[in-house]
Structure 1
């Protein structure tokens, strides 16, 4: 008998593409046809191709500019709608509620609850966020009612035990996957002219972008820095002659940037997983990463590590990355391709099976 799961797609109203919305989209896509999904899409804004996923139900309305402007009011409007859809699905035989972003129904009606968690950044750095108390309260409420909590790294699992006192056997770890789209180029590609280092992601404080800028100001490197993601940045010149360039990139352009980069710099002080370094490795791009437990867990020996507060250490790591041989790049590629969404989703499927 095929399991039926109600998925509260709150994440698809939070992000148009990427981040935790991408995680859940890839999981649903990998399990399409094997699980009966009732997706509550709500007021969504995502840009994913849902035609490739088999959904038994999909309740939602794409946000218009009017609805987007309602902000928090749209969440208030969405809650009773979600509750009605959940009751209808439960009456139709749905026995598992999958919470993608800590929102759970007022009554589970004796169904089982699976809650997804992605990191404990609010808990680790509470002063960086205005909504820390609200987020922690919502997460604690969801975890207290959950039968299973699924997270994306062993490091995140240890954070859940530390901050919430969860029992180890209540938590399952599903490492993320790398899309087959990120691959080695079919033909040899010359590095960028002028050569550049690449930064991918937001520039929130914990992402530690500041040390990258210090590196370019203090080391007199003549390379460019290309920044992908986050708010736009004005072009500027570094003391060594290189430029800081900000670009908006879809997956196709991002892959080309990985192919042409001398290295990716990933300087985060904290991550739940860290997907861009794996994507870079899959494309044959050397990786320079901060020496934190989760990146050691995910990247293993396939990165050049540095202390995330030490510019001299970063410079040494960049110099080591610039010396990567074709053999080293191929080893990184082969390692990254062991992370598949199918393997990741199999953990979720096993959770569903145990909860059925």
Structure 2
């Protein structure tokens, strides 16, 4: 039996700390604890966002996270202040539609009398397409007993009597006391068979202990079982030959009933476009609920594909997810346009045309993304300003119940700000703080980076209710699976011939302060002065804060003889360089992972690496490590390696474990997708 509990009674600040709110939470938790074979779901609304996180945390370990769902309603529908009654009625229908597409066997409303002071909606029987067994907790009927005290305000009186009408439509009432049960029988003319008392004590129910609530939950579940069994028997007797509609047909019927019901509301024809748009947006979000989306943020690449190491990772993972999508998820690449997240259909049609289901003569539109509580947002690309500018939208995604994950490539901007432009440091700190607060989890590209992130969080505790997940995965290496670029320059063959003639050391990285190029160049100057025959090939574009180094590289007497700086080359050319080089040199002073080490291992290319924890994590015993920041130290290390290599005693990368991009992508997905 699928039991759906409407817990809006625990969402507003006033209700969640009231006796009603505490009782509602205690009973719901007890039902989850005592569910046995039954399937318990919690439904919340998206207009009281912070409470949703508290409630999700309360049920952690009791319910799968996907069983706590959020429906969307328009803002400003509290009955005390909303002058548009049609908007409240439309919101009630939207809630009932959302519940209908969940297809519960029974819905339990923790408190029907919600929505006076805050944005909550409750109703029974507003959507006539299909009757769902419904129960509600009955606390008291004091306003009916003392109308002069409680119902003097005509607006509140109308609100209260409408809730009473809904209460009368319920199939079952769970009364918190025998006294409340008698009131319902006498004042509402409710059949005694439809009312079950769950409390047999005169003590205030909010103060009762877990054992009491466990008993109350078992009583409630028995009543639910009896009610649903009775209704199933009645349906079998009345429609033995009637064919039950499919899930899709049921959803379509519910949607048609919703649209029909809203169109008939009094006063809707005179409404402003903004109100109708708000209704349409809420319907769109709720309609999208059955379809799980994996939203992959490609904002930086859509704006400009710089073909950096990070964007090579993005292309590789995107390709694998598109080719091997996780079961039951629709893959939706997205980007931030300055106001909305949009589907990146036009961009994807250029790099992965087979993944766009559109006829060639159809215009490809980048529609605004609708997000529901079943969706997952993955910040795969790295773009600080887009994330900061879209913070409010991302928080809205989270409020709707979507999960948010960010891939963290490194936090070197915080650890070593001297390596980067001064203006980048405060922006990066703000970015890390924001994603630490709003994300479900952060996925790092190495354990070393994950350790650094966790250490940073110890000193900068994010302001959040639930714990932040920090995990890691390793990058892949097969360039052929990363949408490789092609093309060779005219002088490629002559360069390759020079590189084959003598030992060639290859560096693959952007030329920037932390990568160690200055030490490397000075070390090779010493080697060349010692008449050691060796080539140095640097593959990578020009970065920042390296003006002096760039001048030295461009004016070096060995340039294009034994020193080669190749900028902006294709992946095809890089593959050739890996194949003809003698060793890879990883001289970086700080890395999040070290992708070139993996690529070198794939080509069985020996590795000379600085002794960094992350390089040891990636390469283990399959690399030759050096220490020290002086040119003489590196020059001596290279001399030693050349001698060892000549004798066949240098460490080899053959046998070094590495992942394909498919395997790497599966590791990533395993950290963000719900467990089967």
Same fold judged by TM-score > 0.5?
yes
The structure-2 alpha-carbon separation of the partners of 1:139 and 1:303, relative to structure 1 and needing over 3 Å to count, comes to same
* Higher strand residue share: 1
Task: Give yes or no for contact 1:281–1:329 (8 Å, CA) kept in 2.
Answer: no
Residue aligning to 1:175:
474
Tell me the CA shift for residue 46 of structure 1: 8.3
In structure 2, the partner of 1:78 is none
Residues 1-356 of structure 1 aligned to structure 2 (within 5 Å) = 3-12=292-301, 13=303, 15-32=305-322, 33-34=325-326, 35-41=329-335, 50-51=351-352, 54=355, 85-86=368-369, 88=370, 90=371, 95-100=375-380, 101=382, 103=387, 104=391, 105-108=394-397, 109-127=400-418, 128-130=420-422, 131-165=424-458, 170-179=469-478, 181=480, 192-219=500-527, 220=529, 221-231=532-542, 233-234=553-554, 236-238=556-558, 243-248=562-567, 249-322=569-642, 323-324=644-645, 332-336=653-657, 338-354=658-674
Cα distance between partner residues in 1 of 2:349 and 2:566: 21
Structure 2: gaps of 5 or more residues: 1-289, 338-343, 359-365, 482-495, 543-549
The CA distance in 2 between the partners of 1:164 and 1:269, in whole Å, is 23
Give the Å deviation of 1:55. Answer: 5.9
Using the size of structure 2 for normalisation, the TM-score is: 0.43
Offset of 1:99 from its aligned partner?
1.8
- Tell me how far apart the structure 2 counterparts of residues 314 and 229 of structure 1 sit (CA, whole Å): 21
**CA–CA separation in structure 2 for the residues paired with 1:326 and 1:333:** 17
Q: What is the CA–CA distance in structure 2 between the aligned matches of 1:39 and 1:125, rounded to whole Å? A: 32
Aligned to 2:23: none
**Hey, what's the Cα distance between the residues in 2 that align with 1:129 and 1:311?**
25
In 2, distance between residues paired with 1:343 and 1:126?
33
TM-score, with normalisation over the residues of structure 1? 0.77
CA offset digits 1:190-235 (Å, max 9, x no partner): 9612443222111211111111011012232332222111237426
> Structure 1 residue 281: deviation in Å?
2.3
The Cα offsets for residues 286-311 of structure 1, whole Å up to 9 and x where unpaired, read as 21111111111111111111114133
Which consecutive residues of structure 1, in runs of 5 or more, have no partner in the other structure? 58-81, 183-188
d(CA) in 2 for partners of 1:298 and 1:289?
11
Q: What CA distance in whole angstroms lies between the structure 2 residues aligned with 1:46 and 1:214?
A: 43
Contact 1:178–1:339 (CA under 8 A) maintained in structure 2: yes
> Which structure has the higher relative contact order (CA within 8 Å, separation 6+)?
1
Give the C-alpha shift of residue 276 in structure 1. Answer: 1.0
Q: 1:122 to 1:53 in 2, by over 3 A?
A: farther
Please say if residues 3 and 352 of structure 1, whose CA atoms lie closer than 8 Å, have aligned partners that are also in contact. no
Preserved contact between residue 29 and residue 52 of structure 1 (Cα < 8 Å): no
Contact 2:299 2:336 in 1 (8 A): yes
Distance 1:211 1:10, change over 3 A: same
SS across alignment from 1:16:
coil
Tell whether the 8 Å contact from 1:267 to 1:308 is kept in structure 2 after alignment.
no
Rg larger in structure: 2
Shift of 1:316: 3.6
Aligned positions, number: 321
**C-alpha distance in 1 between matches for 2:317 and 2:607:** 26
Q: 1:7, CA displacement in angstroms?
A: 1.7
Question: Within 2, Cα distance between the matches of 1:193 and 1:49?
Answer: 40
Q: What secondary structure sits across from 1:309 in the alignment?
A: coil
Structure number with the higher helix fraction is: 2
d(CA) in 1 for partners of 2:519, 2:312? 28
